[in-house]
Amino acid sequence: MAALPRRPHRSSAALTPVPADPDRELLAFNVRLAKQRQGLLDVQRLERKAFREHARVDNAVAARPLPHRDGGSVLIMQLSDLHFNERVAAHLSP
């Protein structure tokens, strides 16, 4: 293991170690920060997605209150783009 070069410290005559390659250390530090930031962004994106899905359900229920008897359960079903296992061939170009 190579010894680090030393330079005099400004406030005292004591010698302090100088990094062998400060640019490489700075680059490694920046990469570590970028990875950490990206990880946090990914977690926040997933949290926002989960919140949006929950809010959509709440908004749908609040927008259309359904009368029900005896305080029982109500089933809300959204049917969209139904083909019921039918093959659909879309001819978009003439």
Residue 56 covered by a domain: yes
Residue 15 covered by a domain: no
User: Domain limits at 31?
Assistant: 21-63
Under the banding of pLDDT at 50, 70 and 90, the label for residue 83 is confident
- Kindly report the average pLDDT of the chain as a whole number: 76
Residue 93 covered by a domain: no
Residue 42 covered by a domain: yes
Q: Across residues 49-65, what is the average pLDDT?
A: 84
Residue 48 covered by a domain: yes
Residue 1 covered by a domain: no
Residue 79 covered by a domain: no
Residue 40 covered by a domain: yes
Pinpoint the alpha helices (H) of the chain. Answer: 22-63
Q: Alpha-carbon torsion 30, 31, 33, 34, what sign? A: positive
Q: What pLDDT is attached to residue 21?
A: 79
Per the confidence metrics, is the pTM higher than 0.75? no
Specify the number of domains making up the chain.
1
